[in-house]
Structure 1
Amino acid sequence: MYLPTTSSLGLSTNGFQRMHIKSNGDVGFGAIPFNDYNFQVSTNSGSGNEVIFVVNNNGTTPNSATTARFDFGVFSDASNYVASNTVLGQTNFIGQANDARYVAAKIDAIVTNAGNVGRGAGHSGIMRFYTKPTNSNGVSERMKINEVGEVTINNLAGINDVGADANGKLQAATSDMNLKNTIENSPFGLNEILLLNPVTFLYNDTNRKIDSDVKEVGFIAQDVFDIIPNAVSSTGTGDLQLDYRAITATLTKAIQEQQALIKALEQRIINLENK
Protein backbone atom coordinates (compact mmCIF):
# COMPACT_ATOMS: atom_id res chain seq x y z
CA MET A 1 0.00 0.00 0.00
CA TYR A 2 1.42 3.39 -0.93
CA LEU A 3 0.54 6.98 -1.95
CA PRO A 4 0.86 7.36 -5.75
CA THR A 5 -0.17 11.03 -5.57
CA THR A 6 -1.34 13.45 -2.91
CA SER A 7 -4.63 12.37 -1.26
CA SER A 8 -4.76 9.09 -3.18
CA LEU A 9 -4.14 5.48 -2.22
CA GLY A 10 -2.58 2.67 -4.22
CA LEU A 11 -2.32 -1.08 -3.71
CA SER A 12 0.40 -3.12 -5.39
CA THR A 13 1.65 -6.70 -5.61
CA ASN A 14 4.98 -7.96 -6.93
CA GLY A 15 6.04 -4.37 -7.56
CA PHE A 16 3.08 -3.52 -9.82
CA GLN A 17 0.10 -1.33 -9.04
CA ARG A 18 -3.14 -3.31 -8.95
CA MET A 19 -5.65 -0.83 -7.49
CA HIS A 20 -5.91 2.92 -7.09
CA ILE A 21 -8.35 5.12 -5.15
CA LYS A 22 -8.28 8.74 -6.28
CA SER A 23 -8.96 11.73 -4.06
CA ASN A 24 -12.40 12.20 -5.68
CA GLY A 25 -13.46 8.66 -4.82
CA ASP A 26 -12.90 7.02 -8.21
CA VAL A 27 -11.73 3.43 -7.86
CA GLY A 28 -9.68 1.79 -10.59
CA PHE A 29 -8.26 -1.69 -11.11
CA GLY A 30 -5.34 -2.13 -13.47
CA ALA A 31 -1.68 -1.58 -14.11
CA ILE A 32 0.64 1.43 -13.96
CA PRO A 33 0.17 4.19 -14.97
CA PHE A 34 -2.69 4.61 -12.51
CA ASN A 35 -4.71 6.80 -14.92
CA ASP A 36 -5.24 3.82 -17.25
CA TYR A 37 -7.41 1.08 -15.81
CA ASN A 38 -8.82 -2.19 -16.99
CA PHE A 39 -11.85 -1.43 -14.82
CA GLN A 40 -12.95 1.80 -13.17
CA VAL A 41 -15.87 2.85 -10.99
CA SER A 42 -16.41 6.60 -11.03
CA THR A 43 -18.67 8.95 -9.08
CA ASN A 44 -18.15 11.74 -11.63
CA SER A 45 -21.06 10.97 -13.94
CA GLY A 46 -22.57 14.44 -13.67
CA SER A 47 -25.83 13.03 -12.32
CA GLY A 48 -24.71 11.84 -8.90
CA ASN A 49 -24.86 8.19 -9.99
CA GLU A 50 -21.92 5.85 -10.22
CA VAL A 51 -20.74 4.84 -13.67
CA ILE A 52 -18.47 2.01 -14.75
CA PHE A 53 -15.80 2.39 -17.40
CA VAL A 54 -14.24 -0.63 -19.05
CA VAL A 55 -11.05 0.00 -20.99
CA ASN A 56 -9.38 -2.05 -23.69
CA ASN A 57 -6.37 -4.32 -23.36
CA ASN A 58 -4.00 -1.37 -23.74
CA GLY A 59 -5.54 0.40 -20.75
CA THR A 60 -7.16 3.11 -22.88
CA THR A 61 -10.60 4.51 -22.11
CA PRO A 62 -12.93 3.60 -25.03
CA ASN A 63 -13.59 6.19 -27.70
CA SER A 64 -14.18 6.20 -31.44
CA ALA A 65 -10.74 4.69 -32.03
CA THR A 66 -10.76 1.97 -29.36
CA THR A 67 -12.85 -1.03 -28.40
CA ALA A 68 -14.06 -1.96 -24.92
CA ARG A 69 -15.13 -5.42 -23.92
CA PHE A 70 -16.42 -7.50 -21.04
CA ASP A 71 -15.35 -11.14 -20.89
CA PHE A 72 -17.51 -13.56 -18.89
CA GLY A 73 -16.61 -17.20 -18.55
CA VAL A 74 -16.72 -20.48 -16.69
CA PHE A 75 -13.52 -22.47 -16.99
CA SER A 76 -12.17 -25.87 -16.00
CA ASP A 77 -8.87 -27.67 -16.43
CA ALA A 78 -7.66 -28.80 -19.86
CA SER A 79 -8.92 -32.36 -19.38
CA ASN A 80 -12.51 -31.32 -18.66
CA TYR A 81 -15.25 -29.22 -20.26
CA VAL A 82 -18.12 -26.96 -19.25
CA ALA A 83 -21.37 -28.92 -18.98
CA SER A 84 -24.42 -28.14 -21.12
CA ASN A 85 -26.83 -25.53 -19.69
CA THR A 86 -24.06 -23.95 -17.62
CA VAL A 87 -24.63 -20.20 -17.24
CA LEU A 88 -21.47 -18.57 -18.62
CA GLY A 89 -22.33 -15.03 -17.64
CA GLN A 90 -25.19 -12.97 -16.27
CA THR A 91 -26.02 -9.28 -16.04
CA ASN A 92 -28.65 -8.14 -13.53
CA PHE A 93 -30.32 -4.74 -13.60
CA ILE A 94 -31.09 -3.85 -9.98
CA GLY A 95 -33.79 -1.53 -8.66
CA GLN A 96 -34.73 -0.57 -5.13
CA ALA A 97 -38.08 -0.13 -3.36
CA ASN A 98 -37.74 1.34 0.12
CA ASP A 99 -35.07 -0.83 1.81
CA ALA A 100 -35.37 -3.80 -0.57
CA ARG A 101 -33.46 -4.32 -3.80
CA TYR A 102 -34.81 -6.39 -6.66
CA VAL A 103 -33.80 -7.62 -10.12
CA ALA A 104 -35.86 -5.69 -12.70
CA ALA A 105 -34.30 -7.35 -15.74
CA LYS A 106 -31.61 -9.88 -16.54
CA ILE A 107 -29.52 -11.09 -19.47
CA ASP A 108 -27.59 -14.36 -19.42
CA ALA A 109 -25.87 -16.81 -21.75
CA ILE A 110 -25.66 -20.59 -21.46
CA VAL A 111 -23.56 -23.19 -23.24
CA THR A 112 -25.35 -25.93 -25.20
CA ASN A 113 -24.29 -29.14 -26.92
CA ALA A 114 -21.27 -29.31 -24.64
CA GLY A 115 -18.92 -32.25 -24.93
CA ASN A 116 -15.30 -33.29 -24.72
CA VAL A 117 -14.34 -32.00 -28.17
CA GLY A 118 -11.26 -30.07 -29.20
CA ARG A 119 -11.27 -26.29 -28.67
CA GLY A 120 -15.05 -26.11 -28.21
CA ALA A 121 -15.77 -26.98 -31.85
CA GLY A 122 -19.01 -28.78 -30.96
CA HIS A 123 -20.14 -26.35 -28.27
CA SER A 124 -22.74 -23.66 -28.89
CA GLY A 125 -24.48 -20.95 -26.91
CA ILE A 126 -27.88 -19.39 -26.22
CA MET A 127 -28.58 -15.81 -25.12
CA ARG A 128 -31.64 -15.21 -22.91
CA PHE A 129 -33.43 -12.01 -21.86
CA TYR A 130 -35.68 -11.61 -18.79
CA THR A 131 -37.92 -8.93 -17.27
CA LYS A 132 -39.78 -8.70 -13.96
CA PRO A 133 -43.60 -8.76 -14.17
CA THR A 134 -45.64 -6.46 -11.93
CA ASN A 135 -46.27 -7.92 -8.45
CA SER A 136 -43.75 -10.70 -9.04
CA ASN A 137 -40.74 -11.58 -6.91
CA GLY A 138 -38.69 -12.88 -9.83
CA VAL A 139 -37.94 -12.38 -13.51
CA SER A 140 -39.45 -14.29 -16.44
CA GLU A 141 -37.79 -15.21 -19.72
CA ARG A 142 -39.04 -12.95 -22.53
CA MET A 143 -36.73 -13.59 -25.47
CA LYS A 144 -34.13 -16.15 -26.51
CA ILE A 145 -31.58 -16.32 -29.34
CA ASN A 146 -30.45 -19.87 -30.00
CA GLU A 147 -27.24 -21.26 -31.45
CA VAL A 148 -28.32 -20.89 -35.09
CA GLY A 149 -29.68 -17.34 -34.75
CA GLU A 150 -33.35 -18.20 -34.34
CA VAL A 151 -35.17 -15.72 -32.10
CA THR A 152 -38.05 -16.73 -29.83
CA ILE A 153 -40.14 -13.98 -28.23
CA ASN A 154 -42.41 -15.11 -25.41
CA ASN A 155 -45.99 -13.85 -25.26
CA LEU A 156 -45.64 -11.65 -28.34
CA ALA A 157 -48.84 -9.61 -28.74
CA GLY A 158 -50.64 -12.05 -26.49
CA ILE A 159 -50.13 -15.13 -28.71
CA ASN A 160 -47.83 -17.07 -26.37
CA ASP A 161 -44.41 -17.92 -27.80
CA VAL A 162 -43.46 -17.03 -31.35
CA GLY A 163 -40.10 -17.45 -33.04
CA ALA A 164 -38.22 -16.33 -36.13
CA ASP A 165 -35.24 -17.92 -37.83
CA ALA A 166 -32.05 -16.16 -38.91
CA ASN A 167 -33.75 -15.05 -42.14
CA GLY A 168 -36.66 -13.44 -40.30
CA LYS A 169 -39.13 -16.21 -41.16
CA LEU A 170 -41.72 -16.62 -38.41
CA GLN A 171 -42.00 -20.01 -36.79
CA ALA A 172 -45.17 -21.59 -35.39
CA ALA A 173 -46.66 -20.19 -32.18
CA THR A 174 -46.84 -22.47 -29.14
CA SER A 175 -50.17 -24.34 -29.05
CA ASP A 176 -49.50 -27.63 -27.25
CA MET A 177 -52.46 -29.12 -25.34
CA ASN A 178 -50.15 -29.82 -22.39
CA LEU A 179 -49.76 -26.06 -21.94
CA LYS A 180 -53.51 -25.44 -21.69
CA ASN A 181 -56.42 -26.11 -19.34
CA THR A 182 -60.16 -25.31 -19.14
CA ILE A 183 -60.50 -26.00 -22.88
CA GLU A 184 -63.97 -25.08 -24.22
CA ASN A 185 -65.56 -24.49 -27.62
CA SER A 186 -65.40 -20.84 -28.65
CA PRO A 187 -68.71 -18.95 -28.55
CA PHE A 188 -67.59 -16.70 -31.43
CA GLY A 189 -68.47 -17.62 -35.00
CA LEU A 190 -70.50 -16.52 -38.01
CA ASN A 191 -72.53 -13.85 -36.21
CA GLU A 192 -69.38 -12.12 -34.97
CA ILE A 193 -67.63 -12.34 -38.36
CA LEU A 194 -70.60 -10.63 -40.02
CA LEU A 195 -70.25 -7.73 -37.56
CA LEU A 196 -66.55 -7.14 -38.20
CA ASN A 197 -65.62 -4.14 -40.35
CA PRO A 198 -62.45 -4.59 -42.45
CA VAL A 199 -60.78 -1.23 -43.19
CA THR A 200 -57.75 0.22 -44.96
CA PHE A 201 -55.54 2.71 -43.15
CA LEU A 202 -52.15 4.39 -42.80
CA TYR A 203 -50.17 4.30 -39.58
CA ASN A 204 -49.36 7.61 -37.90
CA ASP A 205 -45.79 8.89 -38.16
CA THR A 206 -45.46 8.39 -34.40
CA ASN A 207 -45.40 4.63 -34.98
CA ARG A 208 -41.72 4.44 -35.96
CA LYS A 209 -41.70 0.66 -36.32
CA ILE A 210 -44.02 0.62 -39.34
CA ASP A 211 -43.85 2.39 -42.71
CA SER A 212 -46.42 5.20 -42.49
CA ASP A 213 -46.67 5.50 -46.30
CA VAL A 214 -47.92 1.95 -46.92
CA LYS A 215 -51.70 1.44 -46.85
CA GLU A 216 -52.60 -1.47 -44.59
CA VAL A 217 -55.68 -3.71 -44.53
CA GLY A 218 -57.06 -4.89 -41.22
CA PHE A 219 -59.34 -4.04 -38.32
CA ILE A 220 -59.61 -1.38 -35.62
CA ALA A 221 -58.92 -2.95 -32.23
CA GLN A 222 -61.58 -0.87 -30.46
CA ASP A 223 -64.22 -2.11 -32.94
CA VAL A 224 -63.14 -5.74 -32.55
CA PHE A 225 -63.19 -5.46 -28.75
CA ASP A 226 -66.95 -4.83 -28.83
CA ILE A 227 -67.44 -8.03 -30.86
CA ILE A 228 -64.65 -10.46 -29.88
CA PRO A 229 -63.12 -9.05 -26.68
CA ASN A 230 -60.79 -12.05 -26.29
CA ALA A 231 -58.97 -10.95 -29.45
CA VAL A 232 -57.90 -7.61 -27.99
CA SER A 233 -55.36 -6.77 -25.28
CA SER A 234 -53.45 -3.72 -24.09
CA THR A 235 -49.75 -3.03 -24.61
CA GLY A 236 -47.45 -1.65 -21.94
CA THR A 237 -48.04 1.85 -23.35
CA GLY A 238 -51.83 1.54 -23.17
CA ASP A 239 -52.39 1.02 -26.92
CA LEU A 240 -54.72 -1.80 -27.95
CA GLN A 241 -53.31 -4.73 -29.91
CA LEU A 242 -55.15 -7.37 -31.93
CA ASP A 243 -54.56 -11.12 -31.81
CA TYR A 244 -55.24 -12.22 -35.38
CA ARG A 245 -55.02 -15.85 -34.31
CA ALA A 246 -58.32 -15.33 -32.45
CA ILE A 247 -59.79 -13.90 -35.66
CA THR A 248 -58.57 -16.98 -37.57
CA ALA A 249 -60.22 -19.31 -35.05
CA THR A 250 -63.47 -17.34 -35.31
CA LEU A 251 -63.32 -17.50 -39.11
CA THR A 252 -62.87 -21.27 -38.90
CA LYS A 253 -66.00 -21.63 -36.78
CA ALA A 254 -67.91 -19.24 -39.06
CA ILE A 255 -67.07 -21.41 -42.09
CA GLN A 256 -68.19 -24.51 -40.20
CA GLU A 257 -71.50 -22.87 -39.26
CA GLN A 258 -72.00 -21.58 -42.78
CA GLN A 259 -71.26 -25.01 -44.23
CA ALA A 260 -73.87 -26.54 -41.92
CA LEU A 261 -76.42 -23.99 -43.22
CA ILE A 262 -75.52 -24.82 -46.82
CA LYS A 263 -75.97 -28.54 -46.22
CA ALA A 264 -79.32 -27.92 -44.53
CA LEU A 265 -80.48 -25.87 -47.54
CA GLU A 266 -79.25 -28.55 -49.94
CA GLN A 267 -81.26 -31.14 -48.04
CA ARG A 268 -84.37 -28.94 -48.20
CA ILE A 269 -83.96 -28.60 -51.97
CA ILE A 270 -83.60 -32.37 -52.33
CA ASN A 271 -86.71 -32.91 -50.23
CA LEU A 272 -88.71 -30.42 -52.34
CA GLU A 273 -87.55 -32.00 -55.61
CA ASN A 274 -88.58 -35.47 -54.42
CA LYS A 275 -92.17 -34.41 -53.70
Structure 2
Amino acid sequence: MTESLKSKLFSGLLVFTLLLLGSCSTPLQELTYMYNVETGKTYRKDNFPDIYRIRPNDQLFIQVISDDPMNVAFLNLISPDRVSFSGSNIELVTYLVDENGNISYPQLGEIHVAGLTLSEIREILQKKVDSYLENASVFVKHVSRMLTVLGEVNRPGQQTMVKNQLTIFEALGSAGDITDFGNRKNVKLIRETNNGTYVASINLTSPDLIYSPYYYVLPHDVLYVEPSSKVYGAKTMPFTTPFSLAASTISMILLVLNFLK
Protein backbone atom coordinates (compact mmCIF):
# COMPACT_ATOMS: atom_id res chain seq x y z
CA MET A 1 0.00 0.00 0.00
CA THR A 2 1.35 3.42 -0.95
CA GLU A 3 2.19 6.06 1.63
CA SER A 4 -0.51 8.29 0.14
CA LEU A 5 -3.19 5.65 0.68
CA LYS A 6 -1.97 4.97 4.20
CA SER A 7 -2.13 8.68 4.96
CA LYS A 8 -5.68 8.92 3.66
CA LEU A 9 -6.71 5.86 5.68
CA PHE A 10 -5.16 7.29 8.83
CA SER A 11 -6.85 10.65 8.27
CA GLY A 12 -10.21 8.99 7.69
CA LEU A 13 -9.98 6.91 10.86
CA LEU A 14 -8.86 9.97 12.82
CA VAL A 15 -11.87 11.97 11.62
CA PHE A 16 -14.11 9.03 12.56
CA THR A 17 -12.62 9.03 16.05
CA LEU A 18 -13.22 12.75 16.51
CA LEU A 19 -16.81 12.42 15.32
CA LEU A 20 -17.34 9.52 17.71
CA LEU A 21 -16.01 11.54 20.62
CA GLY A 22 -18.20 14.47 19.65
CA SER A 23 -21.30 12.30 19.60
CA CYS A 24 -20.55 11.10 23.14
CA SER A 25 -20.24 14.57 24.62
CA THR A 26 -23.12 16.56 26.07
CA PRO A 27 -23.57 20.20 24.98
CA LEU A 28 -23.00 22.74 27.75
CA GLN A 29 -26.50 24.16 27.37
CA GLU A 30 -27.97 20.77 28.31
CA LEU A 31 -26.09 20.72 31.63
CA THR A 32 -26.31 24.36 32.71
CA TYR A 33 -29.25 25.51 34.79
CA MET A 34 -31.03 28.55 33.31
CA TYR A 35 -28.48 28.69 30.48
CA ASN A 36 -27.57 32.23 29.34
CA VAL A 37 -29.79 33.81 31.98
CA GLU A 38 -29.24 37.56 32.14
CA THR A 39 -27.49 38.55 35.34
CA GLY A 40 -27.31 41.85 37.18
CA LYS A 41 -31.04 42.49 37.05
CA THR A 42 -34.06 41.96 39.28
CA TYR A 43 -36.68 39.60 37.92
CA ARG A 44 -40.12 40.83 38.90
CA LYS A 45 -42.63 38.01 38.76
CA ASP A 46 -46.16 37.22 39.79
CA ASN A 47 -45.74 33.46 40.01
CA PHE A 48 -45.66 33.34 43.80
CA PRO A 49 -46.29 29.83 45.14
CA ASP A 50 -49.84 28.70 45.58
CA ILE A 51 -51.01 28.78 49.18
CA TYR A 52 -51.19 25.16 50.24
CA ARG A 53 -54.59 23.91 51.37
CA ILE A 54 -54.84 21.15 53.92
CA ARG A 55 -55.95 17.73 52.70
CA PRO A 56 -56.79 14.36 54.31
CA ASN A 57 -53.87 12.57 56.00
CA ASP A 58 -52.06 15.83 56.70
CA GLN A 59 -50.83 16.38 60.24
CA LEU A 60 -51.34 19.64 62.11
CA PHE A 61 -49.60 20.88 65.22
CA ILE A 62 -52.03 23.07 67.17
CA GLN A 63 -51.28 24.88 70.40
CA VAL A 64 -53.31 27.36 72.42
CA ILE A 65 -51.08 29.95 74.10
CA SER A 66 -51.86 32.19 77.06
CA ASP A 67 -50.06 34.21 79.72
CA ASP A 68 -51.15 31.52 82.17
CA PRO A 69 -50.34 28.12 80.60
CA MET A 70 -52.47 26.29 83.16
CA ASN A 71 -55.60 28.03 81.92
CA VAL A 72 -55.17 26.60 78.42
CA ALA A 73 -53.82 23.16 79.38
CA PHE A 74 -57.23 21.55 78.83
CA LEU A 75 -57.14 22.70 75.19
CA ASN A 76 -53.71 21.24 74.48
CA LEU A 77 -52.89 17.58 74.00
CA ILE A 78 -49.90 17.62 76.34
CA SER A 79 -48.86 19.58 79.39
CA PRO A 80 -47.33 23.02 78.71
CA ASP A 81 -43.86 22.04 79.95
CA ARG A 82 -43.55 19.34 77.26
CA VAL A 83 -44.32 21.40 74.17
CA SER A 84 -41.53 21.09 71.62
CA PHE A 85 -41.07 21.78 67.93
CA SER A 86 -38.20 19.36 67.42
CA GLY A 87 -37.47 15.72 67.95
CA SER A 88 -40.12 13.09 68.51
CA ASN A 89 -42.31 15.20 70.82
CA ILE A 90 -43.90 16.97 67.89
CA GLU A 91 -45.41 13.65 66.81
CA LEU A 92 -47.27 13.49 70.14
CA VAL A 93 -49.14 16.74 69.61
CA THR A 94 -50.27 16.48 66.01
CA TYR A 95 -53.82 16.13 64.77
CA LEU A 96 -54.35 13.81 61.81
CA VAL A 97 -56.84 15.03 59.22
CA ASP A 98 -59.17 12.10 58.57
CA GLU A 99 -60.51 10.91 55.22
CA ASN A 100 -63.46 13.27 55.57
CA GLY A 101 -61.17 16.25 56.08
CA ASN A 102 -61.87 16.66 59.79
CA ILE A 103 -59.86 16.81 62.99
CA SER A 104 -61.21 15.93 66.41
CA TYR A 105 -60.15 18.60 68.89
CA PRO A 106 -60.62 18.20 72.65
CA GLN A 107 -63.35 20.45 74.06
CA LEU A 108 -63.92 22.04 70.63
CA GLY A 109 -65.27 18.95 68.89
CA GLU A 110 -64.94 17.91 65.25
CA ILE A 111 -63.68 20.63 62.92
CA HIS A 112 -63.56 20.47 59.13
CA VAL A 113 -60.17 21.69 57.87
CA ALA A 114 -59.66 20.10 54.44
CA GLY A 115 -59.44 22.68 51.68
CA LEU A 116 -58.52 25.45 54.11
CA THR A 117 -55.27 27.35 54.52
CA LEU A 118 -53.46 27.49 57.85
CA SER A 119 -54.65 31.06 58.36
CA GLU A 120 -58.27 30.05 57.81
CA ILE A 121 -57.94 27.14 60.24
CA ARG A 122 -56.36 29.36 62.86
CA GLU A 123 -59.20 31.87 62.49
CA ILE A 124 -61.84 29.16 63.01
CA LEU A 125 -60.05 27.79 66.07
CA GLN A 126 -59.47 31.26 67.49
CA LYS A 127 -63.21 32.01 67.46
CA LYS A 128 -63.93 28.74 69.26
CA VAL A 129 -61.21 29.33 71.85
CA ASP A 130 -62.45 32.87 72.48
CA SER A 131 -65.73 31.41 73.71
CA TYR A 132 -63.79 29.68 76.52
CA LEU A 133 -60.93 32.05 77.30
CA GLU A 134 -59.85 35.65 77.01
CA ASN A 135 -56.42 36.74 75.80
CA ALA A 136 -55.55 33.33 74.37
CA SER A 137 -53.92 32.82 70.97
CA VAL A 138 -53.95 29.82 68.64
CA PHE A 139 -50.86 28.59 66.81
CA VAL A 140 -51.23 26.21 63.83
CA LYS A 141 -48.41 24.52 61.93
CA HIS A 142 -48.47 21.96 59.10
CA VAL A 143 -45.88 19.36 60.12
CA SER A 144 -46.28 16.77 57.35
CA ARG A 145 -44.74 18.94 54.64
CA MET A 146 -43.05 16.21 52.62
CA LEU A 147 -41.61 16.30 49.11
CA THR A 148 -40.40 13.33 47.05
CA VAL A 149 -37.51 13.49 44.56
CA LEU A 150 -36.86 10.43 42.38
CA GLY A 151 -34.79 9.41 39.38
CA GLU A 152 -31.36 10.68 38.40
CA VAL A 153 -30.45 12.53 41.59
CA ASN A 154 -27.69 11.70 44.04
CA ARG A 155 -29.97 11.24 47.08
CA PRO A 156 -33.46 10.18 45.95
CA GLY A 157 -36.24 9.88 48.50
CA GLN A 158 -38.52 11.97 50.68
CA GLN A 159 -37.47 15.23 52.29
CA THR A 160 -39.10 17.63 54.71
CA MET A 161 -39.91 21.09 53.42
CA VAL A 162 -38.43 23.50 55.94
CA LYS A 163 -39.65 26.64 54.13
CA ASN A 164 -43.05 27.83 52.98
CA GLN A 165 -41.56 29.02 49.69
CA LEU A 166 -39.25 26.31 48.37
CA THR A 167 -37.93 26.56 44.81
CA ILE A 168 -37.37 23.58 42.56
CA PHE A 169 -33.61 24.22 42.70
CA GLU A 170 -33.65 24.09 46.50
CA ALA A 171 -35.59 20.82 46.37
CA LEU A 172 -33.09 19.28 43.94
CA GLY A 173 -30.21 20.65 45.99
CA SER A 174 -31.53 18.83 49.06
CA ALA A 175 -31.51 15.66 46.96
CA GLY A 176 -27.82 16.12 46.15
CA ASP A 177 -28.41 17.68 42.71
CA ILE A 178 -29.03 15.89 39.41
CA THR A 179 -26.46 13.31 38.33
CA ASP A 180 -24.47 13.51 35.10
CA PHE A 181 -27.04 11.17 33.55
CA GLY A 182 -30.12 13.27 34.38
CA ASN A 183 -32.18 15.02 31.73
CA ARG A 184 -32.36 18.62 32.89
CA LYS A 185 -34.60 19.63 30.00
CA ASN A 186 -37.55 17.40 30.89
CA VAL A 187 -38.01 17.09 34.66
CA LYS A 188 -41.46 15.84 35.61
CA LEU A 189 -43.39 17.47 38.45
CA ILE A 190 -46.36 15.42 39.68
CA ARG A 191 -48.91 17.33 41.74
CA GLU A 192 -52.23 16.31 43.25
CA THR A 193 -54.99 18.87 42.65
CA ASN A 194 -58.71 19.02 43.34
CA ASN A 195 -59.29 17.88 39.76
CA GLY A 196 -56.87 14.94 39.91
CA THR A 197 -53.19 14.32 39.28
CA TYR A 198 -51.36 16.86 37.11
CA VAL A 199 -47.97 16.20 35.48
CA ALA A 200 -45.87 19.17 34.33
CA SER A 201 -42.70 19.10 32.25
CA ILE A 202 -40.00 21.51 33.41
CA ASN A 203 -36.93 22.64 31.48
CA LEU A 204 -34.31 23.54 34.08
CA THR A 205 -31.96 24.92 31.43
CA SER A 206 -34.40 27.60 30.30
CA PRO A 207 -33.76 31.15 31.59
CA ASP A 208 -37.54 31.64 31.63
CA LEU A 209 -37.94 29.03 34.37
CA ILE A 210 -38.05 31.76 36.98
CA TYR A 211 -41.43 32.84 35.56
CA SER A 212 -42.87 29.31 35.57
CA PRO A 213 -45.79 28.48 37.89
CA TYR A 214 -43.74 25.41 38.88
CA TYR A 215 -40.67 27.35 39.97
CA TYR A 216 -41.94 26.76 43.51
CA VAL A 217 -42.84 23.31 44.81
CA LEU A 218 -45.64 22.39 47.21
CA PRO A 219 -46.03 19.74 49.92
CA HIS A 220 -46.66 16.26 48.50
CA ASP A 221 -45.19 17.18 45.09
CA VAL A 222 -43.12 14.50 43.36
CA LEU A 223 -40.13 15.45 41.19
CA TYR A 224 -38.87 12.84 38.75
CA VAL A 225 -35.62 13.32 36.84
CA GLU A 226 -35.55 10.96 33.88
CA PRO A 227 -32.31 9.62 32.34
CA SER A 228 -30.85 11.56 29.45
CA SER A 229 -31.24 10.06 25.98
CA LYS A 230 -27.44 10.14 25.74
CA VAL A 231 -27.16 7.43 28.38
CA TYR A 232 -26.57 4.22 26.49
CA GLY A 233 -27.25 1.29 28.78
CA ALA A 234 -25.22 0.94 31.94
CA LYS A 235 -24.51 3.88 34.22
CA THR A 236 -20.74 3.58 34.43
CA MET A 237 -18.32 6.49 34.68
CA PRO A 238 -19.62 8.84 32.00
CA PHE A 239 -16.34 10.67 31.48
CA THR A 240 -14.26 7.54 30.87
CA THR A 241 -16.52 6.14 28.16
CA PRO A 242 -15.41 8.55 25.37
CA PHE A 243 -11.75 7.96 26.22
CA SER A 244 -12.28 4.21 26.11
CA LEU A 245 -13.81 4.57 22.66
CA ALA A 246 -10.92 6.77 21.53
CA ALA A 247 -8.34 4.31 22.83
CA SER A 248 -10.07 1.43 21.07
CA THR A 249 -10.23 3.35 17.79
CA ILE A 250 -6.57 4.38 17.95
CA SER A 251 -5.60 0.78 18.67
CA MET A 252 -7.58 -0.29 15.61
CA ILE A 253 -5.79 2.32 13.47
CA LEU A 254 -2.38 1.10 14.62
CA LEU A 255 -3.30 -2.52 13.97
CA VAL A 256 -4.52 -1.73 10.45
CA LEU A 257 -1.42 0.30 9.63
CA ASN A 258 0.83 -2.43 11.02
CA PHE A 259 -1.01 -5.05 8.98
CA LEU A 260 -0.62 -3.03 5.78
CA LYS A 261 3.13 -2.51 6.10
Which category of TM-score, normalised to the shorter sequence, fits these structures?
A: under 0.3
Structure with greater strand share of residues: 1
Structure with greater helix share of residues: 2
Q: TM-score, normalised by structure 2?
A: 0.26
Q: TM-score, normalised by structure 1?
A: 0.25
